[in-house]
Structure 1
Amino acid sequence: MQKRISTLAAALLASALLVACGKQEAPQAQNAAPAPAARIVVGLDDNFPPMGFRDEKNELVGFDIDLAREAAKRLGVEVEFKPIDWNAKEAELGGKRVDVLWNGLTITEKRKEQIAFTAPYLENHQIVVVAANSPVKAKADLAGKVVGVQEGSSAVEAIEKDAVAKSFKELKKFGDNVAALMDLTTGRLDAVVLDEIVGRYYVAKKPGDYLILDDNFGTEEYGVGVRKDDAELLAKLQQAMDEMKKDGAAARISTQWFGKDIVK
């Protein structure tokens, strides 16, 4: 009898210990580190004002930067801006080094083969900028001239589609539009073809240095690009942008950068 009682007592003690251990595990679970917040990485050219560029404090600012931040806030995710070689943007996106391309990205049929786009949010033209004292007054005057353009930009495709391009002395490609405009200022170029939104930003800063021709190399539209297999992110971004247009947030950001609402 004594042996049975001892055995029963031991079993009860073991049960009590198991319950006690179970109670001690709960606080450990509560103190576990929270899961990391979701994040999207935005690839951009950080020398493309006013869409995305570095200010005097070397901080990334711009119209598209503000739009992306507002969209990320609505999606409840963190956003990281990653400067990339814009000429290799498709590879950066496809290699999953960035999740989104959002920096004055023109929608073209060629790019649609590798990138899924949101609906257009801005309209753009490929304008021709010349020096204020230039004899070039129209596209036809570019015959025999040296024309600058940003490598990897939609301006290259727009120019190559135009018959006048065959008459150029040279189509010189640059890493960014800033370098091209510097060569225009020093006389090493006769003209620069670039996005209207970017071109007008620079011309407004130095109105005595540049002129914009009435002729242009076509109308384009900007969109946000994601991987073609990332339909969920594309849908969420589109919903956020639609909401931003509807409630006036996009118009507010546009007015801050352009003085008026130019969002489509």
Structure 2
Amino acid sequence: MRTRPVLAVALAPAVLLGLTACSTADEGGADDAASATPSASEACAAGDLPTLTEGTLTVGAGEPFEPWYVGEPTSGEGFESALVYAVAEELGYAAEDVEWETVTFEQIISPAIKPFDLAAYQTTITEERAEAVDFSSPYLTSHQGVIVADDGDYADATSLADLEGARIGVTAAQTSLDAAESAWGDAVEITPFNAAGDGMTALTSGTIDAMVMDVDQGVAASTVYFPDTQVVGTLPDVGEPEQLGLVLDKDSELTECVSQAVDALEADGTLDELRTEWLKSDDVPELS
């Protein structure tokens, strides 16, 4: 297991903000379908799952940052840390049977063999990525948020038009780039950054006027890591809703069981509870 010191959360926000960057019953009726379909815990017992290490669920994650991870991933605090332990419990694993592996975003979405059974790293489900990896059922529908400096020229922006002419930062090769291009076209100057934290540093130094990233990550960035900034709104969705999923090897034997676990947590209200506890973006308006 490889993890990073908690102190890094306080000392290196630019690094920690590295990237952020659903079945129907047949005609027999819902009751018949429910009785014929075993639950995740019945069909996917921990002792029977072909994990990398027998009896252990190895989970990949990046450098911990809020709201996804509060402190080390092992803490169980933060949306994705709590989600992983809830999925593990649904599959029959005790907390001590969960091992964490620090990985990069590139490792997660590449077609190479993975050093983990599943990864929880704010990974948007896309058709292109699904050609290289498997995704679980989605556990969160997300949006792209716009962050500005409290004392900047765009602090009072309430619409897309208010930001025309601005220098907008995005994370290269992430969905924030597509969302920004769709929202403004040539009306803004878009600057890609290797990591969201690099863009936030540029924002606070005045190099750019706004930064686009996942809104939940943006709320944490503006309240924890870069307190002199604020989220002014979200961008309109591009195409299908942007959803996050747990990542597994392509054609993994675990994918169906992990998806069943996520579906069970959605059905019993656990995911709603985790979203309410850890994500603070419900009141952020959409820019139009």
User: TM-score when scaled to structure 2?
Assistant: 0.64
Q: Which has the higher helix share?
A: 1
CA distance in 2, matches of 1:58, 1:187: 36
Query: Which stretch of structure 1 is more off in the superposition, 195-204 or 150-159?
Result: 150-159
Amino acid at match of 2:212: V
1:3-54 Cα offsets, whole Å, 9 max, x none, are xxxxxxxxxxxxxxxxxxxxxxxxxxxxxxxxx6432332222244211353
Percent of aligned positions with the same letter in both sequences? 28
Q: Which has the higher strand share?
A: 1
Distance change >3 Å, CA 84–CA 141, structure 1 → 2: farther
Q: Is the 8 A contact 2:62 2:121 kept in 1?
A: yes
Give the superposition deviation at 1:144: 5.1
Tell which has more relative contact order, 1 or 2 (C-alpha 8 A, sep 6+). 2
SS at match of 1:54: coil
Which of 205, 220, 230 is 1:201 aligned to? Answer: 220
Query: Which stretch of structure 1 is more off in the superposition, 204-213 or 245-254?
Result: 204-213
Q: Is the 8 A contact 1:155 1:193 kept in 2?
A: yes
Give the superposition deviation at 1:67: 0.8
| Aligned pairs, number | 221
Distance change >3 Å, CA 171–CA 165, structure 1 → 2: farther
Q: Is the 8 A contact 2:147 2:232 kept in 1?
A: yes
SS at match of 2:145: strand
CA distance in 1, matches of 2:178, 2:56: 33
Residue 186 (structure 1) aligns with: 205
Residue 151 (structure 2) aligns with: 133
Taking only aligned residues, the RMSD between alpha carbons, in angstroms, comes to 3.2
| Greater C-alpha radius of gyration | 1
Residue 194 (structure 2) aligns with: 174
Which of 238, 245, 254 is 1:223 aligned to? Answer: 245
Matched, 1:69 2:85: yes
Residue 51 (structure 1) aligns with: 68
Give the superposition deviation at 1:64: 0.7
Distance change >3 Å, CA 118–CA 187, structure 1 → 2: same
- Structure 1 segment 93-104 matched on structure 2, within 5 A: 94-104=112-122
CA distance in 2, matches of 1:100, 1:241: 12
Which of 141, 147, 151 is 1:123 aligned to? Answer: 141
Distance change >3 Å, CA 85–CA 142, structure 1 → 2: farther
SS at match of 2:242: strand
Residue 148 (structure 1) aligns with: 169
Task: Give structure 1 stretches of 5+ with no counterpart.
Answer: 1-35
Give the superposition deviation at 1:244: 2.3
Residue 13 (structure 2) aligns with: none
Residue 28 (structure 1) aligns with: none
Q: Is the 8 A contact 2:179 2:235 kept in 1?
A: no
Distance change >3 Å, CA 94–CA 140, structure 1 → 2: farther
Q: Is the 8 A contact 1:139 1:215 kept in 2?
A: no
